[in-house]
Amino acid sequence: MFTNSSCAKIRRMSNPNTLPCKTTLPILPRLFIAIALPLALALTVGALLPQPADVQLTFAPVLAALGLASWFIGLFWYGLPQMGLRGKRPLFSSIGFATLAWVPFLLFRFVFVVMAAFGRGSLAGQAFFYLLLFEAFAVQVWTFGLVFRTLAEWRGGLTAAFGSGILFGMAAYFFFQESFSGSLSSLLYFMVWGIVYGIIRLRSGSLLGIVLVQALHSFTAWTVLYPQMPPDTAQLQNLYLATTAVYLLVIWRLWPKEEGDYRV
């Protein structure tokens, strides 16, 4: 049980409205810009460019525009450390926490979804490069960098973790190559996956480790263990529901419980 004093400390840390900032722009316009401007730029790039058959060629410019816009806005407003681009101990902490999400998913991937082939030959390196730079780094700079930091200043760390996590899940659902199924279980899985990463960002203070593990997560599950195309919907539903249940347990275990757990 928390005392009134400890609860007050947690509320102060989870709502750090005195975070340093390089701009005098009010917080609500900043929040709107942080969410809308990179997304609008990315969708504009996607609409203007021709639509190739390869999914990577389709979404790489879109996600690149999303990440670059977020990078420069965040650099101008906050600086790299406040965007979660921290190394050393925060980096290794985020790697360790994110592995808790990677390993169960990989195990369930073995159990529930039939593997059509092991690896994709010469395409494997290209696939990992795409996953690391675009689906992982570009999307997380927007969600767990720019948007997380702005939400944390507005409504605190937990709101930032959940809000940016849900935003990540929606981006993954619509733009990631591993979004094979348009089912409710798929949407639920991606949003809970995002919330897990949001809590890790809050607990560790760094998104770099999550970026690396996310790329390994997707690479091992969907490139090394190449599935039948398209994967069976019932198999995917079992995978998503089982993983979501484990992720809820991970969220419960990582839930910040004291002042030192908040690292915005």
d(CA 225, CA 220): 6
Find the mean pLDDT for residues 125-147.
95
Question: In a 3-state reduction of DSSP, which class is residue 227?
Answer: strand
8: confidence class by pLDDT, cuts 50, 70, 90: very low
d(CA 107, CA 4): 42
* Helix or strand run (H / E) with residue 79: none
- Which is higher by pLDDT, 166 or 5? 166
120: confidence class by pLDDT, cuts 50, 70, 90: low
pLDDT of residue 117: 76
| Confidence check: pLDDT of 53 > 80 | no
Ramachandran angles phi, psi of 188, nearest 5°: -60, -45
Residue-wise pLDDT for 36-47, tens only, equals 999 999 999 988
1: confidence class by pLDDT, cuts 50, 70, 90: very low
pLDDT of residue 3: 42
pTM: 0.91
Per the listing, tokens 């930032």 go with 160
Per the listing, tokens 């977020």 go with 70
Q: By the 8 A CB rule, do 70 and 139 touch?
A: no
- Which is higher by pLDDT, 172 or 11? 172
Cα–Cα distance list, 121 to 117, 131, 216, 226, 247 (Å)? 10, 16, 17, 11, 31
Task: Looking at the chain, list the stretches that DSSP marks H as alpha helix, in order from N- to C-terminal side.
Answer: 4-14, 27-48, 55-77, 88-112, 123-130, 139-140, 148-155, 157-175, 184-204, 208-219, 233-254
Q: Which residues pair with 226 in a beta bridge?
A: 117
pLDDT of residue 10: 40
CA 73 from centroid of its chain's CA atoms: 18
Question: In a 3-state reduction of DSSP, which class is residue 198?
Answer: helix
124: confidence class by pLDDT, cuts 50, 70, 90: confident
- Name the residue among 190, 177, 176 with its Cα closest to residue 229: 177
Find the mean pLDDT for residues 10-39.
80
Find the mean pLDDT for residues 179-194.
94
Find the mean pLDDT for residues 48-75.
87
Q: How many of the other CB atoms lie within 10 Å of CB of 125?
A: 11
d(CA 226, CA 218): 11
Residue-wise pLDDT for 218-263, tens only, equals 999 999 888 888 889 999 999 999 999 999 999 999 999 887 788 8
Residue-wise pLDDT for 65-97, tens only, equals 999 999 999 999 999 999 999 989 999 999 999
